[in-house]
């Protein structure tokens, strides 16, 4: 990778190349998450992609969000994958067995992903409003007509995944967290014992030839076992708690939801649904408090909780910084900001770029090349930095921006990066990496 065809000359060229990546992955009304590895639409990817696209083409960005919304289930759930017709990804729609459960004509998985959408819709709408003219009008029309659908999505998260009022969202699969094989899920997954599993053949390890960058076969068997358990109860929200061997209160997803509730409240007020704003703000407070309540006083990091054993999961992963997304407690924010600058995170002098990795680089079981067990994910860093900025931290935003742009200048738009060498890993030309490049440049 260091001898490429591709190092980028300057920021102007980086922007041109990022736009070309998105155009190259665009099927028309769906930008696939990656050209070969992920030839479909992923829920949270689509929101980042739309936000990046809105720096170039607002109507196209809105069309991306509309495609995703068109797959919303009657329950309100927005599925984590909307399948294109492309072959070659496993598990495909047949393995999910969602036909007859998902709405007529929708080809999707049966689980969800972190609800970053309302936050990014607000961003797109504000960007378009600042531009004025037809872009502003199109974004306003979009917001007016879709706010009710986003509210249904948040209502579903609250009622199907957090009805206990804990302010913490339950996930039934690591895939729902978006951080599939993070060490945070090792404990819960160690208690998942696949029974009789339909035979399967992975496709991801054919595309990412270095299998050590992807989850192991053992991990995959557990992933598929959970899919089978959910499909067996037809993804019925009421039956999942009695049927699924993996149930975790996901602190990062809860923080994302807290922030998104705030953003949706603003959109609701601005675009004709003000009556719902108070409810959304109540939920924002509930999830904000839920996240704050998980912080380990010793480490200063937020924790997940295994619902089935009641155990806290306090590993040093990026999810531990969930309060930086949602908290309004100044002491907590200060402590977390100091931590993230420290030697376990961006202050580790061995880093190629001073950016947080998915798992602390001092974690004894760090796997610096393996997916969510160590690599640096550009999309996460942009999301976290924009949350810092929104809470007034321009300084850290500026530092991370510079480091992130330096990281991306190698030109492959990697899915994730080796923390110490800066090598791009996983898929190249990953859409959300290109999208956040455009956001950093905007
Ligand atoms: C998979 C598309 C998705 C992301 C997830 C990431 C990965 C899919 O890719 O999961 O098959 O492993 O973990 O967050 O949405 O980019």
Q: How far is CA 298 from CA 250, 303, 319, 324, 405, in A?
A: 20, 12, 16, 17, 34
Q: Is the pLDDT at 321 greater than 90, yes or no?
A: yes
Atom of ligand 1 nearest to the CA of 204: 11
Each residue of 414-440: pLDDT tens digit?
999 999 999 999 999 999 999 999 999
Among 33, 78, 318, 427, say which to mutate for ligand 1: greatest number of ligand atoms within 8 Å of CB.
Answer: 33
CA-closest candidate to residue 273, choices 159, 155, 150, 157: 150
- Percent of the residues in the chain that have a pLDDT greater than 70, as a whole number: 99
Q: Per mean pLDDT, which of 5-19, 84-98, 241-255 is the most reliable?
A: 241-255
Q: Model confidence at 175, in pLDDT bands (50, 70, 90)? A: very high
Question: Are 69 and 146 contacting, i.e. CB atoms less than 8 angstroms apart?
Answer: yes
Strands in 52-117 per DSSP E: 81-82
CA-closest candidate to residue 313, choices 158, 179, 116, 419: 179
pLDDT for the residue numbered 325: 98
Q: Is residue 4 part of a domain?
A: no
CA-closest candidate to residue 110, choices 288, 256, 229: 229
Q: Is residue 1 part of a domain?
A: no
User: Residue 430 contacts by C-beta under 8 Å, 6 or more apart in sequence?
Assistant: 21, 33, 34, 413, 414, 415
Place of tokens 């680089």: 361
Each residue of 362-383: pLDDT tens digit?
999 999 999 999 999 999 999 9
Tell me how far the alpha carbon of residue 42 lies from the centroid of ligand 1, in angstroms.
7
Q: Is residue 342 part of a domain?
A: yes
* pLDDT (mean) for 207-228: 91
Q: Is residue 2 part of a domain?
A: no
Tell me how far the alpha carbon of residue 227 lies from the centroid of ligand 1, in angstroms.
15
SS3 at position 31: strand
Q: Which domain holds residue 150?
A: 11-441
The CATH number that applies at residue 357 is 1.50.10.10
Q: Is residue 5 part of a domain?
A: no
Tell me how far the alpha carbon of residue 98 lies from the centroid of ligand 1, in angstroms.
19
Question: Are 304 and 251 contacting, i.e. CB atoms less than 8 angstroms apart?
Answer: yes
Separation between Cα atoms, residue 277 and residue 265, nearest integer Å: 4
* pLDDT (mean) for 141-156: 98
Q: Is the pLDDT at 334 greater than 90, yes or no?
A: yes
Give me the chain's average pLDDT, please.
Answer: 96
Separation between Cα atoms, residue 49 and residue 435, nearest integer Å: 5
Each residue of 255-302: pLDDT tens digit?
999 999 999 999 999 999 999 999 999 999 999 999 999 999 999 999
Q: Is the pLDDT at 242 greater than 90, yes or no?
A: yes
* pLDDT (mean) for 57-78: 98
Q: Is the pLDDT at 324 greater than 70, yes or no?
A: yes
Q: Which residue has its alpha carbon closest to ligand 1 atom 16?
A: 33
Domain count, the chain: 1
Q: Which residue has its alpha carbon closest to ligand 1 atom 4?
A: 178
* pLDDT (mean) for 393-401: 98
Which amino acids bring their CB within 6 angstroms of ligand 1?
Answer: 33, 38, 42, 44-45, 178, 180
Q: Is the pLDDT at 7 greater than 90, yes or no?
A: no
Strand ordering across the sheet containing 169-171 = 169-171, 248-250, 304-306, 312-313
CA-closest candidate to residue 376, choices 328, 416, 332: 416
| 105 Rama sector, left if φ>0, alpha if ψ -120 to 50, beta otherwise | left
Q: Which of 415, 418, 423, 429 is catalytic?
A: 415
Question: Are 314 and 367 contacting, i.e. CB atoms less than 8 angstroms apart?
Answer: no
Residue 91 preceded by cis peptide, ω within 30 = yes
Question: Are 214 and 208 contacting, i.e. CB atoms less than 8 angstroms apart?
Answer: yes
Query: Is residue 423 annotated as a catalytic residue, yes or no?
Result: no
Q: Is residue 6 part of a domain?
A: no
Q: Is the pLDDT at 115 greater than 90, yes or no?
A: yes
27: tokens are 């099927």
Among 178, 206, 372, say which to mutate for ligand 1: greatest number of ligand atoms within 8 Å of CB.
Answer: 178
Select the more confidently predicted residue: 217 or 16. Answer: 16
Q: Model confidence at 4, in pLDDT bands (50, 70, 90)? A: low
- Percent of the residues in the chain that have a pLDDT greater than 90, as a whole number: 93
Q: Is residue 102 part of a domain?
A: yes
* pLDDT (mean) for 157-182: 98
Question: Are 224 and 200 contacting, i.e. CB atoms less than 8 angstroms apart?
Answer: yes
Tell me how far the alpha carbon of residue 414 lies from the centroid of ligand 1, in angstroms.
13
Q: Which of 176, 180, 219, 304 is catalytic?
A: 180
Q: Which residue has its alpha carbon closest to ligand 1 atom 12?
A: 180
Query: Is residue 180 annotated as a catalytic residue, yes or no?
Result: yes
Separation between Cα atoms, residue 257 and residue 114, nearest integer Å: 8
Q: Model confidence at 5, in pLDDT bands (50, 70, 90)? A: low
pLDDT for the residue numbered 1: 59
Query: Within its chain, how far is the Cα of 235 from the centroid?
Result: 21
Taking every pair of Cα atoms in the chain, the longest distance, rounded to a whole number of angstroms, is 58
pLDDT for the residue numbered 209: 84
Q: Is the pLDDT at 166 greater than 80, yes or no?
A: yes
Q: Is residue 70 part of a domain?
A: yes
């Amino acid at each position: 990778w260091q001898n490429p065809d591709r190092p980028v000359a300057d920021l102007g060229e980086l922007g041109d190349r990022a736009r070309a990546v998105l155009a190259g992955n665009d099927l028309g009304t769906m930008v696939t998450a990656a050209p070969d590895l992920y030839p479909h639409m992923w829920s949270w990817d689509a929101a980042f992609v739309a936000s990046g696209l809105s720096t170039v083409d607002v109507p196209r960005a809105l069309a991306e969000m509309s495609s995703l919304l068109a797959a919303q289930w009657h329950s309100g759930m927005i599925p984590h994958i909307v399948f294109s017709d492309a072959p070659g990804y496993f598990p495909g729609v047949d393995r999910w067995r969602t036909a007859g459960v998902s709405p007529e004509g929708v080809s999707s998985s049966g689980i969800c992903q972190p609800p970053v959408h309302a936050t990014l819709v607000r961003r797109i709408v504000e960007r378009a409003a600042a531009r004025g003219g037809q872009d502003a009008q199109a974004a306003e029309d979009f917001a007016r007509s879709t706010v009710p659908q986003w509210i249904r999505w948040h209502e579903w998260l609250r009622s199907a995944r957090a009805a206990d009022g804990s302010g913490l969202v339950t996930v039934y699969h690591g895939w729902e967290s978006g951080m599939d094989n993070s060490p945070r899920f090792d404990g819960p997954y160690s208690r998942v014992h696949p029974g009789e599993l339909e035979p399967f053949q992975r496709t991801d390890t054919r595309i990412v030839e270095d299998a050590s960058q992807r989850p192991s076969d053992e991990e995959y068997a557990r992933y598929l076992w959970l899919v089978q358990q959910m499909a067996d109860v037809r993804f019925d929200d009421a039956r999942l708690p009695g049927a699924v061997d993996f149930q975790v209160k996901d602190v990062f997803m809860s923080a994302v939801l807290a922030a998104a509730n705030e953003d949706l409240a603003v959109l609701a007020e601005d675009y004709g649904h003000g009556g719902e704003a108070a409810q959304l703000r109540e939920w924002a407070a509930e999830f904000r408090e839920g996240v704050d309540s998980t912080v380990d006083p010793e480490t200063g990091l937020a924790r997940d909780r295994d619902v089935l054993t009641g155990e806290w999961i306090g590993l040093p992963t990026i999810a531990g910084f969930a309060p930086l997304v949602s908290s309004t407690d100044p002491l907590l924010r200060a402590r977390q900001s100091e931590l993230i600058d420290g030697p376990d995170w961006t202050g580790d002098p061995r880093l190629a770029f001073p950016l947080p990795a998915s798992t602390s680089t001092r974690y004894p079981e760090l796997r610096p090349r393996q997916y969510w067990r160590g690599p640096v994910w550009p999309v996460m860093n942009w999301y976290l930095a924009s949350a810092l900025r929104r809470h007034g931290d321009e300084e850290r935003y500026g530092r991370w921006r510079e480091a992130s742009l330096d990281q991306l200048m190698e030109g492959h738009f990697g899915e994730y990066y080796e923390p110490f060498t800066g090598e791009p890993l996983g898929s190249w030309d990953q859409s959300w990496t290109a999208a956040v490049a455009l956001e950093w440049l905007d």
